[in-house]
Chain A
């Protein structure tokens, strides 16, 4: 049977979503639990979310180190015992502290879940913050920090956050060597007391759930109040970004320069967010994007270049990031500006726009792939307080975006003349 290799097989476009049902329940003390029951393997992921991110800290590194120190010993188990037990169960626990919240993520085989949860409950409720353990951790983290500080991309990222938000704002603040040295157990203990408690906790579970999952959680987290009883007050911070737009930080002996460009932008709940997502994906959010096509695939200036919206609870930003050959840094900046301008002035073809929409709906389907990925989607939904049909709205809306809307959005949110530009290295 002869086949026509020149023409593409027919394709289907994903337009409807079927998310597995999210079950909402409450532990005896009122902690909400959101669960989805999916997957083929006997494994479970449990995430405990606390309002304990960088936003709430009174000094740099406080939130991060409080999270990390939870595995360094509790009243019932030493750091060694915690490690020994977790390894024996083949379980993983990650303390992820981001700009807004802290999430304690537990991955366990179902058959060991009860014991693992008991252990983690003790870590979270009764940490010791031992001086010796803290000193060791400080030393490790400081060394890693000093190594990161040599990399143009890390230098650029830190500076760029500062330029966007100002260094008094939690999203723009950065740590220095002194901040590591000044950390002490008391500082972490007080942060823990305020921010890790039953009044400030939400739980997300995903996987092939055992019938007694909720009972186990209740036994360990649901009996009575624990931690502080005071509701967390969320402070307000003024964004005070740089008025000057063009910045350059020289660094000697580099083969590549890091480039960051961008501006403050809108968040997940803004009415234009879905449209802007389409435009930023088209511009720099997938392999075939304008930026990749021009700067990597046509010019060969870089191994990769990306652009996207970086959402947080209180403010969001648009950012372009890349590392390019040091001898072509200025040329790369010029090309980025050229592409930004083109996005605003030249109408996109229906073909290119459709490709992006299809890519995005496929990509969304991929993000539902597997029990743990689904768990992450659910967590985001509650963390950002999104509508239950938010993701269906997303799929619907991206398919409605037309070339005129792309122009409007680009002019409103992605004007290169308003953007901060930072080059670290040579130019």
Chain B
């Protein structure tokens, strides 16, 4: 259970405060409701590039990192399809430093040409390092456009191609900031051994004078229901073949989302999960096989990713995987297995609450979906899921017409 209090400032900034007196560190998390899904299809990778620019100095403070490091703090950020999230941890006594820095870059950035030039280059290196220069690195560059034809999830947060990043112009960067980086589009979470009123006073001091921006209405083209199985095959210079299969699933927060999450655990979380036990241990079909959900706000993907064992073809591996999926579509999960997975979900929930930063980030994400308190209801939802619901979901979810499959062949194998 994560207790918190919520305030909304005059300029629309949402503030959540969570007290945990067991640690000398505080976490300050700032979430902006903008991600890759908000990008223009011809200017992809912008939300993520922008995350880098947020460290290039703000209107009154030339360097973001230095003063924070001086206060014993550390920070980082991540961008995904739906949000851009910035987080700081620092000794409790220095919390005002975090507010000073975060509020200034919410007020306005420095927008130096140098910062844009350098961060463009850094992001291009990141693109190479993560997506191009390692075996299987381009898998998601192939899979997403296969699965999505209309929705912006068709591209990755890093962008569709390097040229989109190379061509990012200063005026576009500024417009992006003006549109999305406003207090009424942000959620601030403070977690640690703190007093509500003191935090509220400090947050008002630093943030309340920042003007609001225009209210945003998110209108995205939703992905039409897929009606035919899709297939792609590529050959690459990798040591072994790999198989990827994705299915469209429900949006985050819906009941079907939780059921799908639980189902992914039944299939592949832990060494006693079905796919691990049957296809890796017993039959030796795969040397590695995972099932997971992408966790997106809009309808996301249920993903299978595996590498066939030596001597097993992609065709055989796919057939064996589908046999397992057929089983889960036709037979109810035994009560014992369902209980096991629920226990596991409970344990990982409790473990995740041992980290102050995790708690702050989770609160912010839940709030951006509408209600931070939803994280306190998750366990009840998982506990209430019944075997017949899993069966019903699996029937529609794993329908062949809902699938996109990628055969990633090894040149040498």
Task: Report which A residues bind B (CB closer than 8 A).
Answer: 1, 3, 5-6, 8-14, 38-43, 71, 79-80, 82-84, 86-91, 107, 109, 136, 139-140, 143-144, 146-147, 149-152, 253-256, 286-288, 296-303, 323-325, 354-356, 358-359, 361-363, 365-366, 368-372
Contact = CB atoms under 8 A, between A and B. Distances in A.
B310 A139 contact: yes
Contacts of B321: none
B72 A365 contact: yes
B89 A369 contact: yes
B60 A255 contact: no
Given A83-B272, A288-B65, A300 B72 contact: no
A189 B65 CA distance: 51
Given A14-B72, A86-B271, A87-B272, 18 more contacts: A5-B100, A11-B71, A80-B281, A136-B284, A139-B310, A143-B307, A151-B134, A255-B128, A255-B132, A286-B69, A286-B74, A288-B65, A288-B69, A359-B72, A362-B69, A365-B25, A365-B72, A372-B354
B240 A358 contact: no
B27 to A, nearest CB: 9
B361 interface: no
Given A5-B104, A140-B288, A358 B135 contact: no
B351 A83 contact: no
12 contacts: A5-B104, A12-B94, A87-B271, A88-B344, A89-B343, A90-B347, A109-B347, A147-B240, A254-B133, A286-B69, A325-B125, A362-B73
Contacts of B309: 139, 143
- List of 10 A-B pairs having minimum Cβ-Cβ separation, nearest first: A362-B72, A90-B347, A300-B121, A83-B271, A83-B272, A9-B96, A12-B93, A5-B60, A359-B69, A146-B239
Interface in B63-113: 63, 65-67, 69-74, 89-91, 93-94, 96-97, 99-100, 103-104, 107
Contacts of A79: 271, 281
A366 B73 CA distance: 9
B179 interface: no
B132 A362 contact: no
B205 A3 contact: yes
B206 interface: yes
Given A140-B280, A255-B132, A302 B69 contact: no
B273 A87 contact: yes
Nearest to A288: B65
A1 B205 contact: yes
A140 B129 CA distance: 25
A13 B72 contact: yes
A140 B97 CA distance: 48
A227 B15 CA distance: 56
B24 A11 contact: no
A129 to B, nearest CB: 16
Contacts of A146: 239-240
B355 interface: yes
A277 to B, nearest CB: 15
A300 B120 contact: yes
Contacts of B135: 147, 150-151
Given A143-B310, A325-B125, A136 B344 contact: no
Given A136-B280, A366-B89, A8 B100 contact: yes
B349 to A, nearest CB: 9
B377 interface: no
Nearest to B59: A5
A40 B352 CA distance: 12
Contacts of B91: 12, 14, 362, 365
B270 interface: yes
A47 B1 CA distance: 27
Contacts of A80: 272, 277, 281
B117 interface: yes
A301 B125 contact: yes
Contacts of A109: 346-347, 350
Contacts of A371: 354
Given A358-B69, A365-B91, A144 B288 contact: yes
Interface string B10-35: 00000000001011110000000000
B238 interface: yes
A256 B351 CA distance: 37
B298 to A, nearest CB: 28
B272 A150 contact: no
A42 B340 CA distance: 19
B381 interface: no
B354 A359 contact: no
Contacts of A43: 350-351, 354
B139 to A, nearest CB: 13
Interface string B169-185: 00000000000000000
Nearest to A361: B72
A104 B237 CA distance: 37
A76 to B, nearest CB: 17
A255 B347 contact: no
A354 B20 CA distance: 30
B359 to A, nearest CB: 10
B70 A255 contact: no
B118 interface: yes
Given A150-B134, A296-B122, A11 B70 contact: yes
Contact of A366 (B20, B74, B103, B239): B74
B69 A90 contact: no
B378 to A, nearest CB: 15
Interface string B115-156: 001111110111011101111100000000000000000000
Nearest to A10: B96
Contacts of B136: 147
Given A86-B271, A143-B288, A365-B91, A303 B205 contact: no
B353 interface: yes
Contacts of B60: 5-6
Contacts of B23: 369-370
Given A300-B118, A355-B69, A363-B72, A147 B354 contact: no
A108 B94 CA distance: 34
A232 B133 CA distance: 44
Contact of B281 (A42, A136, A150): A136
A122 B298 CA distance: 46
A90 B343 contact: yes
B330 interface: no
B388 interface: no
Interface in B228-249: 237-240
A362 B126 contact: no
A369 B24 contact: yes
A300 B117 contact: yes
A11 B66 contact: no
A418 B182 CA distance: 52
Most buried by A among B122, B238, B280, B339: B122
A280 to B, nearest CB: 15
B97 A149 contact: no
A43 B351 CA distance: 7
A369 B25 contact: yes
A325 B240 contact: no
Contacts of B281: 79-80, 136
A372 B23 CA distance: 12
A11 B237 CA distance: 53
A300 to B, nearest CB: 3
Contacts of A3: 205-206, 209
